[in-house]
Amino acid sequence: MASPEFTLSFDITPPTAAQPNVPFTLPVIIAVNPIGAPAQNVQHLVVSASLRNESGTAAAVGLGGSLTASVRSRAGNAMSGYAKLSPLTISQPGKYRLRVMLSAASVNGVVTKEFVDSAVIDVHAGATAQRPSPTQVARLQQLTAENLDISVADIATWQRA
């Protein structure tokens, strides 16, 4: 495999517990940064989410919501910035990981560049709603400027969840 061209990380992580079929309170935000100069033929970066088993070794079913997003920044679609996945739901009780893959579109097609797995998400009926921590609130406030369709009103709504 070629050396990595991008770093991919969770800026706003999925919850560690969620109820089946109840949307995560907060969007999952992925930070994307190039390592050096990305390949010149890359025209567009997209992240997509999938569900994996607890160990991350096999695909799982039941992830719903907006599973694909463009990498955006203050300047629009970009080679670095953030992607917002929201709302996300998991339909079945169990323990899962969210896998987010970064794909690059070019004139030659689409190539998966990197992926990152979340911590384990325990999906069960007794899970309490995810409330943003003060650190997450501060980060979300910073992200309102990043062209992700996150508003101060959205943040206030998430805080009341």
Q: Domain segments of the chain: what residues?
A: 6-128
Q: Which amino acid is at 75?
A: A
Regions of the chain with pLDDT less than 50:
1
Class of domain 6-128: mainly beta
Tell me the whole-structure pTM to 2 decimals.
0.91
Using the structure block, give the residue that is written with the tokens 């463009």.
70
pLDDT tens digit sequence for 146-158? 889 999 999 999 9
pLDDT of residue 106: 79
Distance, in Å, from the CA atom of 70 to the CA atom of 91, rounded to the nearest integer, reads 25
Q: What percent of the chain has pLDDT over 90?
A: 72
